[in-house]
Each structure stands twice: as C-alpha cells, then as structure tokens.
DNA sequence: GTTAGGG
DNA sequence: CCCTAAC
C-alpha cells in the first residue's frame, strides 16, 4: 500500500500512524507564553499608597480631617511620601493654582543633578492650558528604588536627562485616566473635590503633539520636528493603567488610547457599559474574582464594545487622506471666491495611536516585536477613521470646504493634524453586561464612575510618531525564522538586549508609547487580546502541508506542524488543521467557487487523495478497535 | 497540550 | 481564524 501510494502520488509514502504521541510531553513545542512578572512597586503604587494613607489619616484623625489649609495638605503629602520612601528625603513640591485653593499638584521627586525636575511638567502651557485643574503627583525616576523606573523611564531630549514622570491627575483629562481609577489615589484626589465636577474640557495642552505629525509642509527630519518645533514640550509618561487592575496587566490595545479630539464631549465613553472598577476596588479581591471567573480572551471586538463612543462625526474615510489628495480635497464650492486654489497636503505619517505593551523581562526581542506587531496590526486592521484637527480643534463638519475651515490658508503652520480614531460604528456597540466578567458588582460604590473615562485622553504628550510599521508581508516562508509576520524593525530596538526593561528605557528611541506597565498579576486574558491577522496560506505552504499530511495523515496536526511548519511560528497546528479542512473543501468545490490565491489543481488532487486515504485508514483503525473490544467482551 | 469540529 | 468540548 505504501509503495502503491508512492507511485500514485509521487511522494515518500504514507506513514502508518505510530502509537500516537508516546513522548509528546518531551517534544519541543513553541510557546508564546510569557512568564509572570515580579511584583514591583512602582511610582504609581507609592503615590497610591501615599494617597491612601492620606485618606486614612484624613478619615481617622480629627486633626487631619481639619487639614484645610494648603500648608497642611502639603505637609501631609510630604510626610507621607517621606514615610513611604523609607525616610529618604524626597522633594515634595506643591503647586497651587491661581484659581482656587482646591486644585493642587504635588510633585514627588528627588533632585536630579542635571536639571530641574518639575518644571518640565508645566512647560509650554499654551494659551488654553489650565494647569490648575491638576491635582496630581509627579515623581521623577529617582524618587525611590522601589519605583519601577526602568520601565517607565523616558528620555527627555530637551534637557538631556532621563526622567520618568508619573502623573496622576484629576484634571478633566486624567480623571479618565485609569490611573486615577485603578489606583487608590483617593487621598490625593480627594484633596480636590471640586475637580470632580469638571469633565467637559480638556486643555489643549494635554495634547500638544497630537496634530503634529501630519503637516502641510514636510519637515526636515523627525528629530527636528519633534524636538525643535516645540521645544517647550516635555514628554510625559502617564502611566496608562487601565481602569481594571487586572486589565492593565495585559497588553492594552491602543484603541483604548486613541489620541482623539481635544474635547471630551466629543468622545464620551459610556461608563455603564464599561467594566470599570472603582478606584479603591480591592486588588486582591478583584484578582480572585477574575481568576475564578471564567475569563474569555479579551478580544479586540469586545474591547471596542466596551467603549461606547458617541461621536457625532461622520466617518472620514481614509481614502480622503492620501499622498495625492488633491483629487478629493479641493475646495470647489466656495462661491464667493472667484478662483479656488488647489490645496496640497502632504501627510508625512499618521500617528499611530499609543501602544501599551507589556512583556516580562525575560521576553525576547522577538516576542516583543511580535507583540508590537500584533498591537499595531490590530490597530491598523481595525475599523479606522480619520479625524482632522485644525488649531487643535476637531473639524467636525465634513461638508465644509477647506477654505471654509481655514485649512487652505493655514498650510504653513503645524496647526493641521490628522489622527486615527476607532470607527464609532465599531465602537458604539453596547456591551451586554453578561458578557463582561469585569462588570462591577452592583453594590460597589463607584465614586469616580461618573467620570466618563476617556482612554483617548490619557495620552498627554507623545510627540514622536511611532515608527510606521512595515505592513509589507515578508512572504509566507514556511521557514521564516522570526515569524513571517511583518517585523517592526523600525523600532530600532537594541537587539542585543533581551531585557524588556531596556526596550522602553532606550532613550534614543521614541518608544515612550511602549510604556511597560509594571505587572503584578497576569491573567490569561492578558495574553490574547486581539484576533490574529489573517494570513492566507501560500501555495508553498499548501504544498508543504499537503506533503506533511500525506506522510503523517490527518489527525496528527502537531506532528505536521513540527515537521513542516516548525519555524512558522504563526502557523499553529490548529491553523494547519483548519487549512486542511478548507483545502478539502476547496478541492471539492468547483474552481469557479474558489476564492483567493488559486491552489494548483495538482495539489488539490493530492489533498483529496490523501484525505480519502487517511479517512479510510481511520475507519479501518476504528473497525479494528471495535473488533478488538468486541473480542474482549466475548472473552 | 492536542484533536476535532462547529462557528 | 476563533472557540470549545473532549481527551
């Protein structure tokens, strides 16, 4: 039989299945699991702790409860920070605003020799800026060794010193920041109760860079554009903790952190649909609960579902924005002008929404690349629309001409910007409460829950564009060593480093968007975030698959994988099995019904033959077993 | 962890 | 490609 088949199909012959998988466990298998991360106390935790203690003190001590003056508050904060820093003297600075005594920011820091630490935080306020809305704590990287500074360090190009800024604010923007929600910051936050009423305005300064990357005129280079055109802006790294304690563990889809309109009312996130836990939600409890719950992978779709975005804008199709946009963007219906001029837009790059990725320190660079790629492709592959900003304001009326909006007159400035946004049609689907294991228990008070979280607003100032990912497929080489997925080599990540901490600490690389959130608990869900991108099988892959199945038969997909696709990390044995399924189906249908890259008929024939053969074998095997069992029963 | 099959 | 049951 074997020989016959060899003659018939021109391959090495079928392999009678051996006793299946005797030493399966000893075989090498590709693993994408990430190891859990050590518990590390980060600045956030310190600040949260301080805040919590402050709150406690405030509640328990009558003295503290009368802590009405700024001085008292300041002293309390300072004291708490010092305590937390184990006696080390940290620089605690309070800045009160002019508007009212209610708003105050606290900086927790340690003097950095090269440069002043705090002022950058307030740099370049801009005309519309309203710093006084902040009640925040900021810590520089050196504040304490317990800070997870390595992961959050950001190069401050402007000053040449490294610093990590942890901002925990309660301004209208950061109130939506999960940091505020997830952390026990109520102490600090509660210092300013009035701020809770503010949620309608986001100071433009919170997004000083969001429209910077797309300009009318090309810039000399990225460096100059990011560093010099707005020298007053300092990169800040707001710890992008998702609202859920556990959810910050996972790789966060950037869709949650779109840089979007500066006006919050334009992007309202329906709180009731989102599984946010209150700021003080007990982490342990939540973890337990989440662990015990049956947690389905938090898929991209569901992710979007969680965020109810009510955006009145009609979607601007991305086709409208291209390198040769004259065709569609000419303002030609503005009658008062005798002659209309062509407006030429050069969009150097779109700002890819901020990405937050987590990897254990032990993760390889390759896995980082894959993770980044997954995140990027998830974004780019998702439903996107383009948002247009002019002078920091979102241009909402799609029917206005460029002339009317002033875009055409303003083409020498940086005031025009584009951004990518999630498509409301995708994002507005309400989430059924049953679908979310994260929904708050009904009885749990949610002091902050009325602030619509605005994930897109979290991004404060990422001036540097994330390097455009190479979406170009490198082909479906079965032997591709590093995953045939497009490799984000533009990340310029130091390949010699396998420590993921270094990846975010590399100052020369604009990877602050890759902030690695310190992880305390990882759930399984954290691994699977989005649907994998579709990667059609190439003919070569099909060939390899067919060959392997001819040899090994159906039903030994793991072996098929190891045999023919061992180096194609993106092809799981389930993929191969599925592909075989579709191949069989494809072979059975008429060629007219087939879609995609045509598979040579010869291969399809082999598929059918092999499938028939192995089906027969399976049947025979079953028959044998049946007979054997019957014999056993008879005896 | 693999396999099989429905979605 | 995802999900899940069954092993």
Q: Is the CB of A535 under 7 A from strand C?
A: yes
Residue nearest to nucleotide B1 (CA to C1'): A25
- Contact between A298 and A304 under an 8 Å Cβ cutoff? The reply is no
Residues 6+ apart with CB under 8 A from A217: A346, A411, A412
Residues 3-22, chain A, CB closer than 7 Å to nucleic strand B: 20-21
A126 touches strand B (CB under 7 A): no
Buried b / exposed e over A61-76, threshold 16 CB at 10 Å, is eeebeebeeeeebbeb
Strand C close to A581 by CB, under 7 A: yes
Q: Is 70 exceeded by the pLDDT of residue A194? A: no
Q: Tell me what percent of the residues of chain A surpass a pLDDT of 70.
A: 18
Rounded to whole angstroms, the distance from the CA of residue A567 to the C1' of nucleotide B6 is 29
| A560-573 mean pLDDT | 92
Short-list A179, A293, A319, CA closest to A244: A179
Q: Is the CB of A301 under 7 A from strand C?
A: no
**Residues A374, A299: contact at Cβ < 8 Å?**
no
Interacting residues of A1 by C-beta distance below 8 A, sequence separation 6+: A14
- Give the residue among A111, A131, A139 at the shortest CA–CA distance from A47: A139
CA of residue A604 to C1' of nucleotide C1, angstroms: 21
Residues 6+ positions from A615 with CB-CB distance below 8 Å: A554
Would you say A561 and A577 are in contact if contact means Cβ atoms under 8 Å apart?
no
Q: What's residue A619's pLDDT?
A: 82
- A131 near A97, Cβ under 8 Å? yes
The pLDDT of residue A387: 67
Q: Torsion angle of alpha carbons A487, A491, A497, A500, nearest 10°?
A: -90
Q: Is the CB of A555 under 7 A from strand B?
A: yes
Nearest to A625 by CA among A615, A2, A617: A617
- Any strand C atom closer than 7 Å to A79 CB: no
Query: Is the pLDDT score of A480 beyond 60?
Result: no
Q: Report pLDDT for A604.
A: 93
Protein CA A560 to sugar C1' C3 (Å): 22
More confident residue, A634 or A159: A634
Distance CA A291, CA A496 (A): 36
Most confidently modeled of A67-76, A234-243, A583-592? A583-592
Answer yes or no: is A531 CB < 7 A from strand B: no
What is the band of A14 on the pLDDT scale with cuts at 50, 70, 90? low
Q: Cite the residue boundaries of each domain of chain A with CATH code 1.10.246.220.
A: 539-628
DSSP string, A18-32: -STTTTGGGS-----
Of A205-214, A228-237, A568-577, A611-620, which one has max mean pLDDT?
A: A568-577
Nucleic acid strand B within 7 Å of A34 CB = no
CATH class as words, domain A539-628: mainly alpha
* Distance in angstroms: CA A27, C1' B1: 11
> Which alpha helices (H) appear in A365-487, and where do they start and end?
365-381, 402-405, 424-427, 455-458
CA quadruple A205, A231, A150, A95: dihedral sign: negative
Residue A496 CB coordination number (10 Å): 7
Rounded Cα gap, residues A162 and A444, in angstroms:
41
Tokens in use for A72? Answer: 């008292």
| CB-contacted nucleotides of strand C (7 Å) | 1-4
For chain A, the average pLDDT equals 47
Over residues A204-251, the pLDDT tens digits come to: 333 333 333 333 332 333 333 333 333 333 333 333 333 333 333 333
Of A147-151, A333-337, A354-358, A500-504, the range with the highest mean pLDDT is A354-358
- In strand B, the nucleotides that come within 7 Å of a protein beta carbon are 1-7
Question: Does the C-beta of A35 come within 7 A of strand B?
Answer: no
Work out the pLDDT band at A339, boundaries 50, 70, 90.
low
Cβ neighbours around A310 below 10 Å, total: 14
Q: How many CA atoms lie within 13 A of A214 on its CB side?
A: 26
Residue A33: nearest nucleotide (C-alpha to C1'): B1
In terms of C-beta density within 10 A (0-12 exposed, 13-18 middle, 19 or more buried), how is residue A77 classed?
buried
More confident residue, A415 or A279: A415
Q: How confident is the model at residue A587 (pLDDT cuts 50, 70, 90)?
A: very high
Asked if residue A596 has pLDDT above 60, the reply is yes
Q: Which two tokens stand for residue A57?
A: 């003190």
What pLDDT, in 10s, does the model give residues A16-42?
544 433 333 333 333 333 333 333 333
Which amino acid residue lies closest to nucleotide B3, measuring CA to C1'?
A555
Q: Express as a percent the part of chain A with pLDDT over 90.
A: 10
Helices (H) and strands (E) in chain A, counts: 20, 11
Are A186 and A200 contacting, i.e. CB atoms less than 8 angstroms apart? no
Residue A385 clears pLDDT 80, i.e. is over it: no
Does the CB of A556 sit below 7 A from strand B? yes
Contact A58, A64 (CB under 8 A): yes
pLDDT, greater one: A86 or A186: A86
DSSP state of A352: P
């Amino acid at each position: 039989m074997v020989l016959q088949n060899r003659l018939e199909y021109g391959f090495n012959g079928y392999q009678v299945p051996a006793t299946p998988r005797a030493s399966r466990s000893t075989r090498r298998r590709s693993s994408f699991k990430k190891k859990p991360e050590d518990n590390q106390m980060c600045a956030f935790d310190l600040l949260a702790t301080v805040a919590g203690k402050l709150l406690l003190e405030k509640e328990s001590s009558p003295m503290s409860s009368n802590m009405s003056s700024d001085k008292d508050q300041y002293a309390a904060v300072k004291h708490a920070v010092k305590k937390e820093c184990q006696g080390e003297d940290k620089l605690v600075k309070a800045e009160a605003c002019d508007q009212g005594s209610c708003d105050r920011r606290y900086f927790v820091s340690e003097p950095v020799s090269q440069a002043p630490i705090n002022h950058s935080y307030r740099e370049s306020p801009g005309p519309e800026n309203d710093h006084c809305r902040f009640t925040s704590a900021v810590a520089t990287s050196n504040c304490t060794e317990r800070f997870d500074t390595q992961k959050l360090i950001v190069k401050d190009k402007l000053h040449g010193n490294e610093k990590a800024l942890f901002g925990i604010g309660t301004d209208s923007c950061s109130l939506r920041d999960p940091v505020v929600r997830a952390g026990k910051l109520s102490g600090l936050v509660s210092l300013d109760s009035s701020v809770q009423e503010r949620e309608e305005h986001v100071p433009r300064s919170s997004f000083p860079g969001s429209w910077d990357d797309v300009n009318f005129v090309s810039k000399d280079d990225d460096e100059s554009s990011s560093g010099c055109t707005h020298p007053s802006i300092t990169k800040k790294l707001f710890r992008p903790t998702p609202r859920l304690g556990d959810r910050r563990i996972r790789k966060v889809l950037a869709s949650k952190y779109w840089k979007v309109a500066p006006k919050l009312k334009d992007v309202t996130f329906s709180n009731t649909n989102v599984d946010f836990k209150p700021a003080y939600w007990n982490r342990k409890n939540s973890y337990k609960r989440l662990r015990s719950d049956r947690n389905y992978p938090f898929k991209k779709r569901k992710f979007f579902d969680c965020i109810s975005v009510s955006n009145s804008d009609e979607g601007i199709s991305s086709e409208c924005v291209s390198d040769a946009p004259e065709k569609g963007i000419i303002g030609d219906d503005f009658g008062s002008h005798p002659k209309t001029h062509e407006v030429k837009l050069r969009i150097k790059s779109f700002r890819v929404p901020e990405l937050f990725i987590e990897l254990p320190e032990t993760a390889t660079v390759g896995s980082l690349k894959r993770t980044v790629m997954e995140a990027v492709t998830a974004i780019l592959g998702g439903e996107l629309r383009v948002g247009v900003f002019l002078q920091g304001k979102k241009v909402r009326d799609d029917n206005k001409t460029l002339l009317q909006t002033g875009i055409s007159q303003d083409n020498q400035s940086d005031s025009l910007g584009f951004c990518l946004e999630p498509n409301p049609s995708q994002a507005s689907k309400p989430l059924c409460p049953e679908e979310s294991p994260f929904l708050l228990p009904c009885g749990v008070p949610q002091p902050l829950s009325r602030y619509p979280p605005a994930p897109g607003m979290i991004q404060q100032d990422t001036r540097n564009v994330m390097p455009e990912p190479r979406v170009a497929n490198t082909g479906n080489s079965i032997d591709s060593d590093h995953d045939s997925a497009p490799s984000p080599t533009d990340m310029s990540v130091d390949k010699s480093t396998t420590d993921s901490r270094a990846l975010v600490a590399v100052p020369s690389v604009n990877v602050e968007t890759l902030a690695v959130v310190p992880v305390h608990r990882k759930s399984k869900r954290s691994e699977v975030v989005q649907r994998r991108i579709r990667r059609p099988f190439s003919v070569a892959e099909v060939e390899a698959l067919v060959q392997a199945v001819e040899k090994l038969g159906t039903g030994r997909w793991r072996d098929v994988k190891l045999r023919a696709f061992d180096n194609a990390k993106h092809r799981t044995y389930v993929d191969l099995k599925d592909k075989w399924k579709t191949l069989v189906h494809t072979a059975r249908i008429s060629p007219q019904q087939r879609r995609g890259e045509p598979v040579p008929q010869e291969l399809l024939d082999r598929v059918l033959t092999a499938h028939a053969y192995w089906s027969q074998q399976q049947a025979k095997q079953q028959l044998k077993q049946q007979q054997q069992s019957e014999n056993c029963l008879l005896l």
